[in-house]
Amino acid sequence: MNLTLKIWRQKNAKDKGGLVDYKVNDVSPDMSFLEMLDVLNEDLINKDEEPVAFDHDCREGICGMCSLYINGEAHGPDRGVTTCQLHMRMFKDGDTIYIEPFRAAAFPVIKDLIVDRTSFDRIQHAGGFISVNTSGNTIDANAIPINKHDADTAFDAATCIGCGACVASCKNSSAMLFVSAKVSQFALLPQGKIEATDRVLNMVKQMDDEGFGNCTNTGACEVECPKGISLENIARMNREYLKASLKG
């Protein structure tokens, strides 16, 4: 199939940027979206034009490095996938596709479609851990039985890949789904309860300091999350936050 791409080009963080039109021909429906961009880039380099910069690495939907806002949706029109898992069979011959970076004040553009998501890392530095040193002499792993339902729910929250689709999809650029996934994982496990108060207060404070917006419960984040992270996590974090604030 043949496609028209309207791609956001921006030289660097200071540049204003804008959409540029490109044509790609003979796209196979079995190609992934990023493989289609590879073909475009190969073509651009051969024509002495500058290739389009985009983030990607594992290309199997788990590293969270790829982003892209495609036709107004984070990771494009398919559900439950990252951009690297999006296949061209989701599009039709003759389509025009808009490709933009994830946009948020806390995700400044580095170049073209690449944004800086280190604000996510800094939120994790503030409390996304259990304080246990490496000794090998902690108690035996089976000494703390954990209810399977709780363990499975903690796991579901822990599958967040930190891509930022939730922020890009939110009209307020809120990072609540991302932060609540980590808070929930630890809130559901006995190991995480000891530092629960500090964790939620510190992570939320850092989230606010980074300039992410407030949550108004639109639920767009859950819809666009490639890993199906549930809104229940936000409710759980709100409970944790209330508990912590009352204690504090």
Partner 1 sequence: MALDSKIPEGPIADKWTNYKNNINLVNPANKRNIDVIVVGTGLAGGSASATLAELGYNVKAFCFQDSPRRAHSIAAQGGINAAKNYQGDGDSTYRLFYDTVKGGDYRSREANVYRLAEVSANIIDQCVAQGVPFAREYGGYLDNRSFGGVLVSRTFYAAGQTGQQLLLGAYSAMNRQIGRGKIKMYNRHEMLDVVVVDGKARGIITRNLITGEIERHSAHAVVLGTGGYGNVFFLSTNAMGSNVTAAWKAHKRGAYFANPCYTQIHPTCIPVSGDHQSKLTLMSESLRNDGRIWVPKRKEDVEAIRSGKLKPKELKEEDRDYYLERRYPAFGNLVPRDVASRAAKERCDAGFGVNATGEAVFLDFASAIQRYGKEQALIHHLDVNDAALVKKLGQEVVKNKYGNLFQMYEKIVDQDPYNTPMMIYPAVHYTMGGIWVDYNLMTTVPGLYCIGEANFSDHGANRLGASALMQGLADGYFVLPYTIGDYLSNDIRTGPISTDSKEFEEAEKGVRDQINHLINNKGTHTVDHFHKKLGKIMWNKVGMARNVQGLTEAIKEIKELRAEFWKDVKVPGTNEEFNDELAKAGRVADYLELGELFAKDALHREESCGGHFREDAVELDGEQKGEAKRDDENFAYVAAWEYKGEPSDAVLHKEDLEFKDIELKQRSYK
CB closer to partner 1 out of 173 and 185: 185
The residue from 173, 174, 185, 230 that contacts partner 1 (CB under 8 A) is 185
Q: For the CA atoms of the chain, what is the radius of gyration?
A: 20
Spatial separation of the C-alpha atoms in residues 115 and 66, rounded to whole Å: 10
DSSP string, 168-225: HH-TT-B-HHHHHHHHHHHHTSGGGSTTHHHHHHHHHHHHHHTT-B------HHHHH-
The residue from 8, 22, 69, 186 that contacts partner 1 (CB under 8 A) is 186
CB closer to partner 1 out of 162 and 213: 162
Does position 38 interact with partner 1 (CB under 8 A)? The reply is: yes
Q: According to CB under 8 A, which residues from 40 to 99 bind partner 1? A: 42, 45-46, 48-51, 53, 55-65, 78, 80-81, 85, 87, 89
Does position 19 interact with partner 1 (CB under 8 A)? The reply is: no
Stretch that binds partner 1, among 98-106, 181-189, 210-218, 238-246 (CB under 8 A): 181-189
- Give the distance, in angstroms, between the CA of residue 133 and the centroid of all CA atoms in the same chain: 29
Cross-strand partners of 96: 4
CB closer to partner 1 out of 209 and 216: 209
Residue 132 near residue 197, CB atoms below 8 Å: no
Residue 67: closest CA among 4, 19, 109, 25: 109
CB closer to partner 1 out of 31 and 223: 31
Sequence-separated (6 or more) residues with CB below 8 Å from residue 23: 2, 3, 4, 5
Does position 159 interact with partner 1 (CB under 8 A)? The reply is: yes
Does position 30 interact with partner 1 (CB under 8 A)? The reply is: yes
The residue from 12, 214, 216, 217 that contacts partner 1 (CB under 8 A) is 12
Does position 125 interact with partner 1 (CB under 8 A)? The reply is: yes
